[in-house]
């Protein structure tokens, strides 16, 4: 499975069965200065999906080996791809949420991509 992500992104892959005080969002950058990309990024809505476990879901363990997965790389450049390696026991469907770690109003991450049910073997 390969993903194309829009930003240089640190990935936290949740597989289921800067505090920005420099300038207000509406302020125009000073003449000759570019907007701070981190300040702009941290103004996007946040997500707490990285806080596992979620109500109603069982966390996989190393004894049952229900599902395991990881990203082949933890960062990518704009438009880059990241391969995901996933194995499940027994064969089953799963979803994938890709999050960028950051401040995001104190929530700790931003949901970058959700992949609906995928069949794993």
Q: Is residue 61 part of a domain?
A: yes
In this structure, what DSSP letter does residue 38 have? H
Q: Is residue 26 part of a domain?
A: no
| pLDDT the model gives residue 27 | 52
Q: Is residue 29 part of a domain?
A: no
Q: Is residue 62 part of a domain?
A: yes
Asked if omega into 55 is within 30° of 0 (cis), the reply is no
Q: Is residue 30 part of a domain?
A: no
Q: Is residue 27 part of a domain?
A: no
Residue range of the domain that includes 103: 2-21+35-120
Q: Is residue 90 part of a domain?
A: yes
Average confidence score pLDDT of the chain: 75
Domain count, the chain: 1
**Looking up tokens 């499940």, which residue turns up?**
88
In order along the chain (121 residues), what is the average pLDDT of each group of 10 residues? 45 39 46 80 89 78 82 81 89 88 90 91 84
Q: Which residues pair with 95 in a beta bridge?
A: 16
Q: Is residue 73 part of a domain?
A: yes
């Amino acid at each position: 499975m390969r993903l194309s992500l829009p930003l240089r992104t640190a990935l936290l892959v949740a597989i289921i069965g800067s505090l920005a005080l420099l300038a207000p969002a509406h302020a125009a950058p000073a003449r000759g200065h570019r907007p701070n990309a981190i300040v702009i990024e941290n103004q996007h809505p946040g997500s707490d999906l990285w806080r596992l476990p979620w109500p109603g879901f069982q966390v996989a363990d190393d004894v049952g080996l229900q599902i395991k997965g990881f990203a082949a790389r933890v960062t990518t450049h704009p438009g880059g791809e990241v391969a995901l390696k996933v194995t499940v026991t027994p064969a089953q469907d799963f979803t994938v949420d890709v999050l960028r770690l950051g401040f995001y109003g104190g929530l700790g991450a931003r949901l970058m991509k959700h992949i609906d049910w995928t069949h794993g073997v």
